[in-house]
């Protein structure tokens, strides 16, 4: 029963990046910026105030240092502030309030100051305030968020990059419902591409976190966890203290949801280590919630009971009703296991006073619905058990349909990423041409070059494709891999040789005349999960060669493990007969330099495959 914490927290983020913010800036890289002022008058006060504003300036996807709040309040007591200085300080104050879980107070303050007379609506501070209002609406899932995100994006275009980025991500995630999820995910990847060549690790963490949230909403928890962990890795380069926890809690949620319990415990231990120096009420709650959730997921009820007192103490200073409801959920779990009828009946009775919104939130989780079935069975109330099971079955069916329908989105997102990237390149080319010969000639030349390139590429493809699989043939695949450049520092070129160990058995199962169908089906599976930059080809009669250029070694190994698992779970054969699982062997070669002796590498991979086959 581990809710994705991005749906149970209260705080801040640009695109609902996790819908809640741990105190002092946790649970998602928050999203607001506080800027500097430029007043001239009142020199005796202006210098320290301006220096304070400059020092505490914080981008939209981070939170300010909570230690500065007392000094901010002290500055606000001064009677010598200019209007622009006071406005800047109040915008900063609203940022502090949101990061401290007081979004409603922040919204009231923002409405008051943005509706005042004499506000400079062209200023940086005003754009920041408008974005923050949109975010406070976002926390409540209210549609007004889109209006303010749109305003903030317009105010920040080509002026304030962090506000523009956060507003754009908010619009993509929450407001462009006229587009398919695939298109919106493609737009997100396009934003990531624009920042990928920079050292703006805060922005990169923000974007990866946003992509993780979309994957999580699609029930693609493995992919979501990878994005959150990538965001956490980026954040570690620039964040210290509490800000290191902003995304890690989301990664833990996705790891548990996808059944990656060992990695989840590693992340929980890392969270605990960082939290020793942070220890806010909210971060303490999240730690014990994650730990108790881990024991619940793994069925370790004794350890769950041991951690419950600490979780109960951690939730006491918090007012969020969802947090308290989730603690009550954990409290009743041992009662179900021990078949304590009185305890179970008390819990079900308490639901009558639970806020309907909180109850709906709990019932959106399959683990909770299953627990409701178990509770009715403990009480031997069979009619209620049947109703609870119907709810569980209905939710499970809906989740399965959603998951299946979203499977194709991954490929669609890849496609739209390339489309938006191409559009950007075309637009840049047109601007250059306009300065030389004008728009008309530039467009004509670009069109001609594009068509020529497309036709030449199509003709060349016929000479390079293996007809049985539709993949690159052996010679072309090896040639392209040989031309792969050395990876960037900290990355590798990963090469895998995949062998279908039971191809003959599969061939017999589908019919000797349909052997190529097996190869085509497996080729389609491989094509669906590879990137455009990867090199995939048929190497031997029953073998495939896959190169992942310029990738982190751990990411490559995780990808290969996932790929082989998916293949080994594929079943072949007529539906009317016993279908046979594909069995495959994989040999992997990791290089940190450019391939120098390709034939030796291939010989080593083949030898490794043969050794595995002998065993």
Give how far the C-alpha of residue 489 lies from the chain's centroid of Cα atoms, to the nearest Å: 25
What pLDDT shows up at residue 411?
A: 52
Residue 470 has pLDDT above 90, yes or no: no
Select from 454, 418, 425 the least CA-distant residue to 442. Answer: 425
Residue 10 has pLDDT above 50, yes or no: no
Model pLDDT for residues 502-522, shown as the tens digit of each residue: 777 777 766 655 667 778 888
Residue 590 forms beta bridges with which residues?
494
d(CA 207, CA 168): 11
d(CA 497, CA 598): 13
Residue 546 forms beta bridges with which residues?
496, 536
Q: How confident is the model at residue 35 (pLDDT cuts 50, 70, 90)?
A: very low
What pLDDT shows up at residue 515?
A: 66
Q: Which residues, 6+ apart, have CB-to-CB distance to 326 below 8 Å?
A: 3, 8, 289, 362
Q: How confident is the model at residue 377 (pLDDT cuts 50, 70, 90)?
A: very high
Instruction: Say whether pTM exceeds 0.75.
Output: no
Could you tell me the two tokens for 158? 């080509």
Give how far the C-alpha of residue 237 lies from the chain's centroid of Cα atoms, to the nearest Å: 18
Residue 363 has pLDDT above 60, yes or no: yes
What pLDDT shows up at residue 403?
A: 58
- Contact between 538 and 544 under an 8 Å Cβ cutoff? The reply is yes
128 phi, psi to nearest 5 deg: -65, -45
Q: How confident is the model at residue 28 (pLDDT cuts 50, 70, 90)?
A: very low
Model pLDDT for residues 262-319, shown as the tens digit of each residue: 999 999 999 999 899 888 888 899 999 999 999 999 999 999 999 999 999 999 988 7
Half-sphere exposure of 338 (CA within 13 A, CB side): 12
Residue 572 has pLDDT above 80, yes or no: no
d(CA 544, CA 526): 9
Three-state secondary structure call for residue 34: strand
Question: In sequence order, which ranges of 7-143 are alpha helices (DSSP H)?
Answer: 43-55, 69-76, 83-99, 103-114, 124-139
| Residue with token string 């949801």 | 257
- The DSSP element (H or E) to which 63 belongs, if any, is none
Percentage of the chain surpassing pLDDT 70? 79
Half-sphere exposure of 100 (CA within 13 A, CB side): 15
Could you tell me the two tokens for 393? 């079955």
Of 27-31, 39-43, 153-157, the one with minimum mean pLDDT is: 27-31
d(CA 357, CA 378): 26
Instruction: Report the relative pairing of strands 535-540 and 584-591 from DSSP bridges.
Output: unpaired
**Mean pLDDT of all residues in 118-137:** 90
Q: How confident is the model at residue 333 (pLDDT cuts 50, 70, 90)?
A: very high
- Contact between 243 and 277 under an 8 Å Cβ cutoff? The reply is no
Could you tell me the two tokens for 80? 């010598």
Domains in the chain with CATH codes: 1-216 (1.25.40), 415-464 (no CATH), 474-614 (3.30.70.270)
Q: CA dihedral defined by 337, 341, 344, 349, rounded to 10 degrees?
A: 170
Model pLDDT for residues 378-422, shown as the tens digit of each residue: 999 999 989 989 988 888 887 776 655 555 455 544 544 444 444
Burial profile 283-297: b = 16 or more Cβ within 10 angstroms, e = fewer: bbbbbbbbbbbbbbb
Model pLDDT for residues 97-115, shown as the tens digit of each residue: 887 767 888 999 999 999 8
Q: How confident is the model at residue 74 (pLDDT cuts 50, 70, 90)?
A: very high
What pLDDT shows up at residue 66?
A: 83
d(CA 521, CA 441): 45
- The DSSP element (H or E) to which 91 belongs, if any, is helix 83-99
Compute the mean pLDDT over every residue in the chain, rounded to the nearest whole number.
79
Percentage of the chain surpassing pLDDT 90? 29
Residue 40 has pLDDT above 70, yes or no: no
Residue 20 has pLDDT above 80, yes or no: no
Which of 4-18, 225-239, 410-424, 451-465: highest mean pLDDT? 225-239
- Contact between 100 and 61 under an 8 Å Cβ cutoff? The reply is no
| Alpha carbon distances (Å) from 90 to 81, 112, 135, 448 | 12, 10, 16, 55
| Alpha carbon distances (Å) from 30 to 11, 59, 357 | 8, 9, 25
Model pLDDT for residues 229-268, shown as the tens digit of each residue: 988 888 888 877 666 787 888 899 899 988 899 999 999 9
What pLDDT shows up at residue 451?
A: 66
d(CA 503, CA 262): 34
Could you tell me the two tokens for 274? 């960082």
What does DSSP assign to residue 123? S
Residue 532 has pLDDT above 80, yes or no: yes
Could you tell me the two tokens for 538? 């048929």
Could you tell me the two tokens for 357? 């919104």
Of 37-41, 190-194, 525-529, the one with minimum mean pLDDT is: 37-41
- Contact between 547 and 493 under an 8 Å Cβ cutoff? The reply is yes
**Mean pLDDT of all residues in 356-371:** 87
**Helix axes of 261-275 and 248-257: crossing angle, nearest 10 degrees:** 160
Q: Which residues, 6+ apart, have CB-to-CB distance to 510 below 8 Å?
A: 517, 518, 572, 573, 574
Q: How confident is the model at residue 47 (pLDDT cuts 50, 70, 90)?
A: very low
- Contact between 499 and 563 under an 8 Å Cβ cutoff? The reply is no
Residue 361 has pLDDT above 90, yes or no: no
Q: Which residues, 6+ apart, have CB-to-CB distance to 431 below 8 Å?
A: none
């Amino acid at each position: 029963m581990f809710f994705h914490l991005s749906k149970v927290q209260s705080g801040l983020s640009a695109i609902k990046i996790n819908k809640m913010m741990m105190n002092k800036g946790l649970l998602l890289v928050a999203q607001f910026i506080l800027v500097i002022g430029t007043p001239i008058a009142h020199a005796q006060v202006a210098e320290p105030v301006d220096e304070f504003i400059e020092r505490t300036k914080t981008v939209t996807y981070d939170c300010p240092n909570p230690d500065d709040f007392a000094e901010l309040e002290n500055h606000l007591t001064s009677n010598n502030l200019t209007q622009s200085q006071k406005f800047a300080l109040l915008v900063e104050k609203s940022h502090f309030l949101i990061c401290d879980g007081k979004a409603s107070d922040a919204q009231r303050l923002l409405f008051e100051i943005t509706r005042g007379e004499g506000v400079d609506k062209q200023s940086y501070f005003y754009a920041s305030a408008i974005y923050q209002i949109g975010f406070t609406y976002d926390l409540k899932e209210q549609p007004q968020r889109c209006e303010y995100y749109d305003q903030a994006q317009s105010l920040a275009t080509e002026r304030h990059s962090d506000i523009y980025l956060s507003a754009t991500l908010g619009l993509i995630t929450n407001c462009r419902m006229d587009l398919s999820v695939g298109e919106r995910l493609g737009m997100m990847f396009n934003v990531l591409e624009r920042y990928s060549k920079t050292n703006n690790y805060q922005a990169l963490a923000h974007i990866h976190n946003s992509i993780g949230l979309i994957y999580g909403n699609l029930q693609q928890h493995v992919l979501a966890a990878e994005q959150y962990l990538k965001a956490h890795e980026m954040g570690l380069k620039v964040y210290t203290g509490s800000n290191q926890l902003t995304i890690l809690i989301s990664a833990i949620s996705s790891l548990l949801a996808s059944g990656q319990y060992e990695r989840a415990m590693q992340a929980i231990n890392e969270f605990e280590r960082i939290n020793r120096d942070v220890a806010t009420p909210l971060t303490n709650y999240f730690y014990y919630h994650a730990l108790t959730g881990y024991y619940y997921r793994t069925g370790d009820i004794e350890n769950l009971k041991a951690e419950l007192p600490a979780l109960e103490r951690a939730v006491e200073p918090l007012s969020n009703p969802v947090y308290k409801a989730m603690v009550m959920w954990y409290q009743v779990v041992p009662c179900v296991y021990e078949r304590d009828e009185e305890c179970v009946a008390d819990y079900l009775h308490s639901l009558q006073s639970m806020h309907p919104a909180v109850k709906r939130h709990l019932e959106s989780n399959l683990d909770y619905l299953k627990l409701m079935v178990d509770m009715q069975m403990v009480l031997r109330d069979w009619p209620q058990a049947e109703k609870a099971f119907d709810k569980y079955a209905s939710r499970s069916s809906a989740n399965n349909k959603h998951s299946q329908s979203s499977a194709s989105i991954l490929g669609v997102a890849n496609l739209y990423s390339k489309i938006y990237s191409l559009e950007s390149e075309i637009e840049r080319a047109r601007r250059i041409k306009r300065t030389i010969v004008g728009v008309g000639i530039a467009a004509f030349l670009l069109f001609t070059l594009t068509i020529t390139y497309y036709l030449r590429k199509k003709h060349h493809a016929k000479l390079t494709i293996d007809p049985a699989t539709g993949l690159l043939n052996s010679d072309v695949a090896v040639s392209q891999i040989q031309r792969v450049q050395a990876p960037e520092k900290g990355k590798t070129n990963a090469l895998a040789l995949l062998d279908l160990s039971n191809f003959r058995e599969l061939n017999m199962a589908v019919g000797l005349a349909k052997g190529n169908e097996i190869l085509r089906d497996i080729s389609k599976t491989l094509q669906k999960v590879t990137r455009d930059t990867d090199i995939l080809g048929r190497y031997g009669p029953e073998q495939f060669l896959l190169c992942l250029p310029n990738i982190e070694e751990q990411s490559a190994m995780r990808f290969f493990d996932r790929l082989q698992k998916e293949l080994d779970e594929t079943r072949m054969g007529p539906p009317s007969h016993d279908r046979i699982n594909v069995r495959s062997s994989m040999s992997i070669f990791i290089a940190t330099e450019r391939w120098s002796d390709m034939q030796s590498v291939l010989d080593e991979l083949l030898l490794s495959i043969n050794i595995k086959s002998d065993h």
